[in-house]
Amino acid sequence: MNHQLALVPPLPTPNIFFRQPLIPQLGSNPNFPLTSTSNPIEITQVIYVATTIALPIAGIILLLLLIYAGFLLMTSTNNPDQAEKARQIFSTSLVGFLLIFAAYWIAQILQIIFGIPIIGN
């Protein structure tokens, strides 16, 4: 019996968290070339980098706050103050995340309406 080992190249590890680099390389995007010493910083570049960093961090913070609020709610037997605190954490964390998410989409809509680059492509 002759066994042969098939050589299969290793599969690339998928990047499931970010579809693009967290902070773009200098000059990698012609619409948003990050500044060098000769170019002044534009507000669109600042917004682009801030949203690229802020949205994933906001999602992680939301998840942690929801887990904490759920823990408080589950352990609040015979303690209505703790249950109310859990409900307040739950609602304020959702409202805060929705504000950040809405701000991103409002900026996208303004970008389409006015035709100015605000948050990349």
Range of the domain at 52: 43-114
**Could you tell me if residue 36 is inside a domain?**
no
* Predicted confidence (pLDDT) at residue 70 exceeds the cutoff of 80: yes
Q: What is the DSSP letter of 6?
A: -
pTM over 0.85, yes/no: no
* Predicted confidence (pLDDT) at residue 11 exceeds the cutoff of 70: no
Query: How far from chain centre, in Å, is Cα 108?
Result: 15
**Could you tell me if residue 15 is inside a domain?**
no
Q: Domain tally for the chain?
A: 1
Helix (H, G, I), strand (E, B) or coil at 24: coil
Sequence-ordered alpha helix ranges (H) in 1-121? 43-74, 80-114
**Could you tell me if residue 24 is inside a domain?**
no
* Predicted confidence (pLDDT) at residue 119 exceeds the cutoff of 90: no
Count Cα neighbours of 93 within 13 Å in the Cβ-side half-sphere.
Answer: 19
**Could you tell me if residue 18 is inside a domain?**
no
